[in-house]
Amino acid sequence: MAFSSLFRKKTVEDILRQVEKNETDGHNTLGRYLTARDLTAFGIAAIVGAGIFSTIGKASSDGGPAVIFLFIFTALACSFAAFAYAEFASMVPVSGSAYTYSYVAFGELIAWIIGWALIMEYAIGNVTVAISWSDYFTGLLESGGIHLPQWVQMDYLSASNGFNDATALMEGGKSFENLSSSMQAAYVAWTTSPSIGSFHFVADLPALFIIILITTLVYRGMKESRNASNMMVVVKLSIILLVIAVGVFYVDTENWTPFAPNGVSGVLKGVSAVFFAYIGFDAISTTAEECKNPQRDLPRGMMWAIIICTILYVIIALVLTGMVNYSELNVGDPLAFVFHKLNLKWMSGIIAVSAVVAMASVLLVFQMGQPRIWMSMSRDGLLPKRFSKVHPKFKTPSYATIVTGFVVAIPALFLNLTIVTDLCSIGTLFAFVLVCAGVLVLQDKPNIPRGKFKTPYVNAKYVVPFMLIVGLYYAFAYNNKATMDFITNETQIYKATDIITSLNKEETKKVYDYLVGIEAKNNTNEVLDLENLLSQYQQDDAKYASVVAGLPIDNKLKYESGFSLFKHKIPMWIFLLALVALTFWSFRKNLSLIPLLGLVSCLYMMAELSVWNWIYFTIWLLIGLIIYFGFSRKNSKLNLMKS
């Protein structure tokens, strides 16, 4: 089989003929009844879920009130990508989303890769929603006097890591009562859990429960109708507006100072959490077959959903960071947390109930979407035929639905919220990058049938090079030290908490005695634990550097350098090299600006994710390639047609 066969493409005509064949085979398409208003409601229903009820807390704790700028930037990036999705949906008005679009633009191998990445988006995204649902559900039970053991409401990884960090901090003199609530919970979960040898049985059983329940409903054919979707949006928006209306009276503007406590790096640290808040708008593209006028209504629905949700996210972020200090918001249920902290327990209860309903409905939407992606890939021969099997009674992709349940349920028991959020974000961003690139690849090809909607064309030939030059000027003129540190891989000092949690008992005692000696010289009689002793110097970079330099421990525990430091910069170097290549491409080919900006901004957000997410994502793609070359390539319908 020739190398060129890896990039064999489906034509728009082939896809439309496939739709007709599916109808004759019993794969009936849905009726066209959705309008722009329905699509907007559907987008809000999908977007307003774990993002606003959970991950917004982590982003706010990292970036402070300035996280609102990250929401705005992410919304712009999603808007650029939405144009590309809308253009493809107009060109190929069938289900399949980015997988189908890539089959037309790039060919089979890339389509497989994007389909495999979409599995990560939907399945891992549902793991995140299930974990967030569990946080709110257990909080709701506790407010009603029902207390579940800690080891059945926390994932294994959080409990293990939290126990190790808590132990290190307590060895440094910190009392258990002074640990953060999340660290206390992890410590209790680990120490009270049943164990076999060194293995502790810690698993998020409420997350497992909701996944089983939702999978059962999806298997039996339950689907959200237009009216149910609209009703869900009304409930969600009512609760959010209530939170804003009540919370605004408890805002203390002093909590907004400093506005960006951790600088630009702190704001950008929340990229995955903030981007995760927008995941869902692309689900609108899967409804292309159900739209009355997809060419007109799809772009409108996507844009209105993004605009409305961005306004809500910005206001909610300002209210949350105004009600309590940003540093306290790194919790699984930030909205309920702030009202509980201010003794407004009735509001906390309302939020918990609404979050449980809202996130369960989001879980339902995406738990239905995942099997249908697999069904599309199976119909093309890229997955075994049983994945496209439709239940004779319930009319659902039954086998794919059951497999989806397992794929979501097992990781939900053991992975923590941060890991799955990042994995979901990188998979989705990768899909957005390829969809935007697809529009650029097809922009000048004359043999491609065009839909009624086309992304407005602005020539990027001179705009992108100009933007690159401005960016370089800013980096070297106004941010020279950070830029040069990045380029030269300048040694970095670890944060206080990172240093302390990496010490053994002997090293902990040495560091404690050294810092107490400094306090004695400063005539300070206050007795502090090790974390506070070292953390108090972080406000003054020069002083902190001086104190760390004198710590009686190995430099490897104090500084990060060499490849250990460089590996974290690899994603950003990939972005920078890609940016240069895209600038050259845009200059030569007069590329369209909007999809190019979508590609660049989504690739930038990928670069802000940790190198470990890139590694995990690469491993995921390699597994997918093994399956493709072992099964999909020879069983592809396009291969069978040519043979």
Residues of the chain above pLDDT 90, percent = 4
User: Is pLDDT at 31 greater than 60 in this prediction?
Assistant: no
With respect to residue 484, please indicate whether it lies within any of the assigned structural domains.
no
Whether residues 140 and 161 share a domain: the answer is no
Whether residues 243 and 319 share a domain: the answer is yes
Predicted local confidence at residue 81, as pLDDT: 84
Residues of the chain above pLDDT 70, percent = 86
Whether residues 195 and 215 share a domain: the answer is no
With respect to residue 177, please indicate whether it lies within any of the assigned structural domains.
yes
Mean pLDDT of 384-398: 78
Mean pLDDT of 297-318: 85
With respect to residue 542, please indicate whether it lies within any of the assigned structural domains.
yes
Gap between the Cα atoms of 247 and 446, Å rounded: 55
Whether residues 182 and 211 share a domain: the answer is no
**Bridge-partner residues for 493, per DSSP?**
559
Mean pLDDT of 136-163: 77
To the nearest whole number, what is the mean pLDDT of the chain? 79
Predicted local confidence at residue 574, as pLDDT: 93
Whether residues 218 and 363 share a domain: the answer is yes
- Indicate the pLDDT class of residue 224, thresholds 50, 70 and 90: very low
Where helices occur in 417-457 by DSSP H, the ranges are 417-442
With respect to residue 20, please indicate whether it lies within any of the assigned structural domains.
no
Q: Which residue has the higher pLDDT, 34 or 304?
A: 304
Task: Give yes or no for a contact between 421 and 276, defined as CB atoms under 8 angstroms apart.
Answer: yes
Among 560, 581, 597, the domain boundary falls at 560
Whether residues 216 and 259 share a domain: the answer is yes
User: Is pLDDT at 493 greater than 50 in this prediction?
Assistant: yes
* Counted domains in the chain: 3
Predicted local confidence at residue 18, as pLDDT: 66
Gap between the Cα atoms of 622 and 171, Å rounded: 42
Render pLDDT for 38-48 as a digit per residue (tens, 0 to 9).
Answer: 788 777 877 77
Whether residues 402 and 523 share a domain: the answer is no
* Sign of the alpha-carbon torsion through 506, 510, 513, 519: negative
Predicted local confidence at residue 30, as pLDDT: 45
The most confident of the ranges 156-165, 276-285, 566-575 is: 566-575
Whether residues 133 and 171 share a domain: the answer is no
Mean pLDDT of 415-423: 67
Whether residues 79 and 190 share a domain: the answer is no
Q: Which residue has the higher pLDDT, 605 or 290?
A: 605
User: Is pLDDT at 345 greater than 50 in this prediction?
Assistant: yes
Residue type, 583: T
Residue whose entry in the numeric block shows the structure tokens 């959705």: 34
Predicted local confidence at residue 164, as pLDDT: 80
Whether residues 211 and 176 share a domain: the answer is no
Render pLDDT for 429-477 as a digit per residue (tens, 0 to 9).
Answer: 888 888 888 888 877 776 666 666 778 888 988 888 999 999 898 888 8
With respect to residue 19, please indicate whether it lies within any of the assigned structural domains.
no
Q: Could you give the 3-state DSSP secondary structure of residue 121?
A: helix
Mean pLDDT of 612-640: 86
Predicted local confidence at residue 583, as pLDDT: 92
Phi/psi for 94 (5° steps) reads: -135, 170
**Worst-scoring range by mean pLDDT, 146-160, 400-414, 541-555?**
146-160
User: Is pLDDT at 111 greater than 80 in this prediction?
Assistant: yes
| CATH number of domain containing 79 | 1.20.1740.10
- Indicate the pLDDT class of residue 522, thresholds 50, 70 and 90: low
Q: Is 619 exposed, middle or buried (0-12, 13-18, 19+ CB in 10 A)?
A: exposed
User: Is pLDDT at 612 greater than 80 in this prediction?
Assistant: yes
For residue 505, what are the domain limits?
492-560
Strand 492-493 and strand 199-200: pairing? unpaired
Instruction: Return contacts of 296-299, CB within 8 angstroms, 24+ apart.
Output: 296/36, 296/452, 296/453, 297/34, 297/35, 297/36, 297/39, 298/39, 298/85, 298/86, 298/89, 298/90, 298/453, 299/82, 299/83, 299/86, 299/453
User: Is pLDDT at 506 greater than 90 in this prediction?
Assistant: no
Render pLDDT for 616-626 as a digit per residue (tens, 0 to 9).
Answer: 888 888 998 89
Mean pLDDT of 332-336: 76
With respect to residue 480, please indicate whether it lies within any of the assigned structural domains.
no
User: Is pLDDT at 147 greater than 80 in this prediction?
Assistant: no
Predicted local confidence at residue 285, as pLDDT: 72
With respect to residue 425, please indicate whether it lies within any of the assigned structural domains.
yes
Whether residues 507 and 421 share a domain: the answer is no
Predicted local confidence at residue 582, as pLDDT: 92
The most confident of the ranges 84-93, 225-234, 452-461, 586-595 is: 586-595
Mean pLDDT of 543-566: 84
Gap between the Cα atoms of 144 and 149, Å rounded: 15
Q: Which residue has the higher pLDDT, 230 or 104?
A: 104
Whether residues 128 and 190 share a domain: the answer is no
Predicted local confidence at residue 28, as pLDDT: 46
Where helices occur in 25-123 by DSSP H, the ranges are 36-47, 50, 56-63, 67-91, 97-105, 108-119
| Short-list 461, 458, 465, 468, CA closest to 594 | 458
Could you count the other beta carbons within 10 Å of the beta carbon of residue 386?
12
Among 560, 582, 597, the domain boundary falls at 560
With respect to residue 600, please indicate whether it lies within any of the assigned structural domains.
no
Gap between the Cα atoms of 621 and 384, Å rounded: 19
The most confident of the ranges 66-75, 86-95, 339-348, 419-428 is: 66-75
- Indicate the pLDDT class of residue 579, thresholds 50, 70 and 90: very high
User: Is pLDDT at 29 greater than 50 in this prediction?
Assistant: no
Among 202, 236, 269, the domain boundary falls at 202
Predicted local confidence at residue 110, as pLDDT: 84
Q: Which residue has the higher pLDDT, 8 or 316?
A: 316
